[in-house]
Structure 1
Amino acid sequence: MLPFSQENGEYNGHRYLKHGGSSRSPQNEFPTFTHTGDLEIVLTSLNGRDQQRFLLHSLILSQCSEWFDADIRRTGGRGNAERDGTMGGAAPAPEQAGLPRITEHESLPQAFSRLDPSSPQTERKRWRYVLDWGKTSDDDVPMLVQRAPSSRPEPALGPPPPNHRSKPPTSSTSFFRSMSNFSALNLPTTSTQPPSPDDNLITDYTNLFRCMYNHAPHLDSMNIATAYTQSKSLLHLASLYRALPVVGPRIDHHLLRFQSRLFKQIAKYPSSYLKLGFLARSRVIFSEALIHVVGMWPAAEQQLRGVEEEVWEIVEDKVEELEEVKGRVEVRLARLGLATSRGERVGPGNGYLDWLVVCLFRQWVAEQMTPPPVGILKPGSSGNAEHRGGSGSSRGGGGGGAHAQPSQRPQQPHNTGRTFRLLGSSNPNAYLPHDDQKRFLKLTPDLYTRENLKRFERRMDELKNLARDAVRPLTRNCLEVDLGGFGEGGLGYLTCTRVGEEDFPWDD
């Protein structure tokens, strides 16, 4: 027999009206599985005015969430009984397991009539979970707690109201006139009030269950900042219920749809997206954020406080690897030099002009690699000390020392990424341009001639080519985003960190 029957007006167990309309039969789809659901979840706001109800399956929630699996096993849920029955002992009856079965001697109409929850004689036992608002603080998320399972007959649905009209009513002129007057008031169609925390919590729980049933969560698809906030809240809830392997791929898929906008946001907030990428198990987001964090180190160290230990260890290992590469490159730069036509290293005795080229280059590199000096005195403190010298000495010798306090201005960590990028640039005027070389050579008037200046620039170009080859391991870009989109100076740190399969701190 086919699942569709015109005689009884049924299709897969759902009634319908032959002449249009709905019979108001209970649905058997997310979020209410009336025919097969055995686990009821009721989400109520703190004020009790908003409520969302789900009727789901204990077996599916146990498979997707370790928290539900442990709680159902602890309380002897039917999902646990069904699994344990197959492991040892007799398996429970289909009705006891909460999963409807059809016998081989039973026709489909008889099975639908027997399993129809709208029948008054049908009784189903369900497990019930509600939000616990009593033991939560301002920063805690209210968790679900199990209540006593309900055993009550499903309310029978009465027949639909009779339709006495055979055709739609005629339009009324006065009705359209009143509606046009009402629309002239220009009333707002949407509420301008932001959603309450209760609404966000119910939305997070709804998205959590949607992911468990292989539905896409409802996340913002236009504003990436809003999508990040929603994803972060949903991942936090999924971590509490130990359902990150189910929720994470959905978050990853949604955020990657922003493409270049996502990568630019990661460049702005790498530490935040590193944590999100770890929770979502996103290889692209995690590796992109990790490259930024390692390149910005130690400026990003303060923002990573509270991160998981395995993530912290990976960051430290990558920072150490980058420092080793930088050390080897700096040694090569320090050993760069020019040679004479005989192959000898230039010096003051065999090529004074070429030796000046090497001195200028090394002086520039040393200044760029060294952090700027920190002032001992505050700006203007020396003048004030001289002006008040007499009064300061009359205070027992302690006044003079009070004016010579170190500067309290916080010093930014010195990052040499910009220097290496300049050294690796193919533009000959990226550093030490023509004017700087001309100004330097003028310091020795006896050597400043047109021919010497041309030779000086030619030998400087040779040294720049050697430096470009030396810094090549540090100037490659391992990011998904093009560095040209960050302005003329680009990023001020290195983005050459390679992230391999062994660097992802989760098990697939």
Structure 2
Amino acid sequence: MVSQMELEPHNTVVRRGPSSVASSSRRHGRSSRHHRNGSFVSNEFPEFTHTGDVEILVKAGSRTNRYLLHRLMLTQCSGFFEASTSQQWSRATEEPPRRELARIGEDSGNELARREVKKRWIYELDSGTGKDDIPMLVQKDNTTASIFGSNDGRPPIPATRSKPPSSNPSFFRSVANLSLSHAPVQSPISPEDQDLLTDYDNLFRIFYNYPPALDAIDIASAYIQCKSLLTLADLYDALSVVGPRIDHHLLQFQSRLWKQIAKYPPSYLKLGYLAQSKTIYQEALIHVVGAWPSGERHIRHQLPDAVLEVIENKVEDLEDMVSRIESKLFRLCLVTSRGERVSPHNSYLDWLVISLFKQWLIDATSPPPPPAPRTNPPPSRSSHTHTRHPSTHSPTISATHSNAPSTPPLSTLGHTFRRLGSASPTYLSHDECKRFLKLSPELYSRENLKRFERRMDEVKGLAREIVRPLMRCGLQGGPAEGVTYLTCTRVEERDFVWLE
């Protein structure tokens, strides 16, 4: 429970009773508690009893977390609280003034201060009436007593009694046994309700510059927690405050984070956008563009139009770049010792090298051929009563061609260009060259095969230089293991859409 947490207070000076001293700073580790009539009243997160003016009740299942926070802090961190506590929408009521003894600092003597009249706002979590309703804080009129039984949010003051003699140990044992026997037993709540309480607690902890309770070991669990917290922050217009905390937490996973982004780029692209994390957003965007159109349907339903526009522009730029590189590859040629382009007339064997390379390039960069059209089987003797019209039931060649893609997707082309740009190419190996040359028995010999392979290595070297611009890697973690698509997309400042 939040009310049971022992947290360090912020750097604030608070009013204390005659028997206490002023709080200095959170680094001193002093408990900001006020002694009043024999009871200690907390004045630290999550309940600033003496200075808080916004009461928030978050109920999930059988449990309720209570917060007594400051309007100034909430409005600085959340657009929701800034609007709902404004003069136009506010439902705050004024607390009646009361006179109390307060010590202002340690050297202020016995000054008497009258507490000023201040407003109080109350919010409660409304789960809605529908099954799909999103729980949301709703501002309530301050006309009913709080859960502590008083309108001012203070715990009730117990009646003073004379202190028993300290030499009677049986009294303390009886009191301890009595308190244990009457201790309230909390009923268990569902994991969903617990997650909801944790999300709200993390949200308010971040508002007060406390670290959120997020998994620091399992990155999969951390992702789920961060995504849920960001969704809540988006609901209350607090992404600019919560996002940096999420970014800082996830970046601590380092290499494990890069591997997760490579496995689930669309999901991390949305998370990076919500967290306003340049690093996560850029890493995921490079993966999404390189693997396009993989995950396109999921991306179009999950991301805003501004991010979709960035993706489409990057895909178009990459396609243009690939098209220019592909054109250069098909114009690639060898020259003779006299500096002439090889042809069947001046160097037939070298021309065969170029022909084999370009045929391989065509096969690797072209979509698969359409399937052969199916033909209707000949009608059986008993089928004369069940004739079918061929125009409605038989597929045609033109329909098959109309559904075939004109070019393969970027992910397929990326795999081909990565093979071309490899320092140790695995395409058109010794066996393939040998098998091709044997198709012309009059040319096949050991010397011609060596020359053929030597010239093929020259072609591979020229192709490697042509595709070099596509081999650039923009990923933070370097080339990701198992990634076959292109990762050369450049992400510029204007692509971070939340900065506009």
What's 2:157 paired with?
A: 156
Spell out the pairing of 1:287-306 with structure 2 (5 A cutoff): 287-306=282-301
Task: Provide Cα deviations, 1:372-430, integer angstroms capped at 9, x if missing partner.
Answer: 123245xxx76xx54765556663343797465889x99995621110000000104x1
In 2, the alpha carbon distance for the partners of 1:15 and 1:215 equals 19
Q: Which residue identity does 2:75 align to in structure 1?
A: S
**What is the SS of the residue equivalent to 1:27?**
strand
Match of 1:506 in 2: 498
TM-aligned CA distance change 1:422 to 1:134, over 3 Å: closer
Could you tell me which residue of structure 1 aligns to residue 413 of structure 2?
416
CA–CA separation in structure 1 for the residues paired with 2:162 and 2:63:
29
Q: Which amino acid aligns with 2:440?
A: T
1:139: which partner in 2?
132
Supply the distance in 1 between the matched residues of 2:383 and 2:189 (Cα, whole angstroms).
59
Structure 1 residue identity aligned to 2:308: W
| 1:54 and 2:67 matched | yes
Q: Which runs of 5+ in 1 are unaligned?
A: 82-93, 117-121, 170-190
CA contact (8 A) 1:263 1:480 kept: yes
Given that 2:334 and 2:350 are in contact with CA atoms closer than 8 Å, whether structure 1 keeps it comes out as yes
Q: Is there any run of 5+ residues in structure 2 with no aligned partner, and where?
A: 1-12, 24-31, 144-149, 171-186
Mapped contact 1:204–1:234 kept (Cα < 8 A): yes
The 1:358–1:317 alpha-carbon spacing in structure 2 relative to 1, beyond 3 Å, is same
Matched residue type, 1:128: I
Cα distance in structure 2, aligned partners of 1:351 and 1:493: 37
Give the superposition deviation at 1:12: 1.5
Partner of residue 230 from structure 1, selected from 210, 225, 228: 225
Query: Does residue 396 in structure 1 map to residue 405 in structure 2?
Result: no
How far apart in 2 are the matches of 1:145 and 1:168? 50
Q: Distance in 2 between matches of 1:206 and 1:115?
A: 33
Q: Could you tell me which of 1, 19, 28 is aligned with 2:43?
A: 28
Cα distance in 1 for residues equivalent to 2:91 and 2:263: 49
CA distance in 1, matches of 2:161, 2:499: 54
Change (3 A) 1:356 1:159: farther
Aligned with residue 197 of structure 2, among 178, 202, 207: 202
Counterpart CA distance in 1 for 2:441 and 2:44 is: 90
Q: What is the deviation of 1:220?
A: 1.8
Pairwise CA distance, 1:309: 1.2
Alpha carbons of structure 1 residues 360 and 42: separation in structure 2 relative to 1, 3 Å: same
Distance in 1 (CA, whole Å) between partners of 2:404 and 2:125 is: 47
Secondary structure at 1:10's aligned position in 2? coil
Residue 108 (1) aligns with residue 108 (2): yes
Partner Cα separation in structure 1 for residue 93 and residue 461 of structure 2: 70
Letter in 1 for 2:446: R
1:25 & 1:271 partners in 2: Cα distance? 51
Contact 1:235 1:244 in 2 (8 A): yes
The 8 Å contact of residues 266 and 273 in structure 1, kept in 2 or not, is answered as yes
User: 1:87 — aligned with what?
Assistant: none
Q: CA RMSD in A?
A: 3.8
Distance 1:202 1:402 in 2: 59
User: Which secondary structure does the structure 2 equivalent of 1:447 belong to?
Assistant: coil
| Kept in 1: contact 2:125–2:138 (CA 8 A) | yes
Rounded Cα–Cα distance in structure 1 between residues aligned with 2:304 and 2:452: 54
The normalised TM-score by structure 1 is: 0.77
Once residues 261 and 438 of structure 1 are traced to their aligned partners in structure 2, the CA distance between those partners, rounded to angstroms, is 44
- Counterpart contact for 1:59–1:79, Cα < 8 Å: no
| Larger CA deviation: 196-205 vs 259-268 | 196-205
Of 356, 359, 384, the match for 1:360? 356
| 2:332 pairs with one of 336, 350, 358 | 336
Query: 2 CA distance for matches of 1:342 and 1:79?
Result: 92
Alignment-derived partner of residue 179 in structure 1: none
Cross-structure match for 2:121: 127
In 2, Cα distance between equivalents of 1:325 and 1:419:
14
Q: Indicate the SS of the match to 1:287.
A: helix
Corresponding residue number in structure 1 for 2:20: 10
Q: Could you say which residue in structure 2 is the equivalent of 1:460?
A: 456
Q: In the superposition, relative to structure 1, how do residues 235 and 16 fare at CA in structure 2: closer, same or farther (>3 Å)?
A: closer
Q: Deviations over 1:130-186 (max 9, x none)?
A: 112335x333321111112368353335669957666999xxxxxxxxxxxxxxxxx
Identity of aligned residues (%): 48
